[in-house]
Amino acid sequence: MPEEIADMPHEPALAEQFDDLHQQRFADTLGMWIFLATEVLLFGGIFAGYTVYRMAYPEAFTLASHHLSIPLGTINTAVLLGSSLMVALAVHAAQTGRSKVVGNMLAGALVLGTVFLGIKAVEYTTEWRHHLVPWMEGFNPGGAHPEWQRLYYVFYFIMTGTHAVHMIIGMAVLGVIAVKGWRGAYTAERYVTVEVAGLYWHFVDIVWVFLFPALYLIHVKQ
Amino acid sequence: MIEHVVPVRVYYVIFGWLMALLVVTLVAAYLPLGGWGTLVAFTIATVKAVLILLYFMHVRYGSRLIWIAATAAFLWLGILLVLTLSDYEARGWTPASEMLRPDRPADIPPPPKL
């Protein structure tokens, strides 16, 4: 492939080790998919542990889950689905060579991500005030089986906490890409960075799609 | 060379389905489904995940190898879940096995009481 002319600020879209852009793009996305496979097993392992203990102590887990706010959990699910839509639109903008729109769409996704984290912070603060944090002194969920309820809360904080850490990392990455988007970095030839970051973000969304019914919707109080 | 560009309309339609399924999840949570509630909730969540995978993550438009990588991830998770849960099933720690075997053999311990 011909080198770009000297006064262009970018390096060539095609890296040296690939035969053509199609192969390069394919290798980039396959690499992210393999990483996402390891992430599926990370969260899946925690889910498996949660499933086993939920089946062993169903009443305690049901009681413990009643302290969670279903309205807030639902809003958070909708917020994350919306952010995935914006990221998908950002990828589309990159593919059609509209780099500034990439920045705008990702900024929207970041706003929604911040809303999600804000709501989670409100939930965590409420849980802390109601003595539901299992590692703190005075853990007291009320009702039967406090020790098995403690187990539920360990899973709740670990699962949502790990998810939140993944979200923060994803938001940092999207932030960098948004800034580069506003600076005109993305074209129809150079869009795969946006696509690969998008894959990661959609995965984090999928994790939450499973976390919400698992943690919040166990035999809800009628 | 650019891969298939998914029309924006598709993204909006899928987003509409995802929100509709969220509403269904919520409604189903409040229905008196008893033991089936969990299965219903997870089935809906799986449908949402598949929609995100196919359309937002472009698996539907990608090559067969990407499809294999995505399927493999969930297949391996499936192996983890099936083998782990069948082990607990055999010990009578799962709700289904409780129903099937109400009289536990003396040498198989029940779930630990903390």
User: Which tens digits make up the pLDDT trace of A32-48?
Assistant: 999 999 999 999 999 99
Query: Could you read off the pLDDT of A135-191 as tens digits, one per residue?
Result: 998 999 988 889 899 999 999 999 999 999 999 999 999 999 999 999 998 888 889
- Choose the mutation target among A14, A20, A55 for the interface with B, i.e. most B CBs under 10 Å: A55
Report pLDDT for A8.
45
Identify residue B48 by its one-letter amino acid code: K
ipTM score over 0.85, yes or no: yes
pTM of the model: 0.90
Cβ distance A81 to B85 less than 8 Å, yes or no, reads no
Give the angle subtended at the CA of A101 by the CAs of A84 and A175, to the nearest 5°: 60
CA of B64 to nearest chain A CA: how many angstroms apart? 11
Mean pLDDT, residues A190-211 taken together: 95
Handedness of CA A155, A160, A163, A164 (dihedral sign): negative
Query: Hey, is the C-beta of A128 within 8 angstroms of any chain B C-beta?
Result: no
- Per CB-CB distance under 8 Å, the chain B contacts of A85 are 11-12, 15, 56
The closest CB to that of B69, out of A30, A47, A188, belongs to A30
**And the tokens for A118?**
């804000």
Q: Which residues of chain B make contact with A82, given a CB cutoff of 8 A?
A: 15
Nearest to A37 among B49, B57, B72 (CB): B72
Residue of A68, A167, A159 lying closest to A116 (CA atoms): A167
Identify which of B29, B56, B66 has the shortest CB distance to residue A33. B66
Which of B9, B44, B57, B80 should we substitute to test contact with A (largest number of A Cβ atoms within 10 Å)?
B57
Rounded Cα distance between B89 and B87, Å, is 5
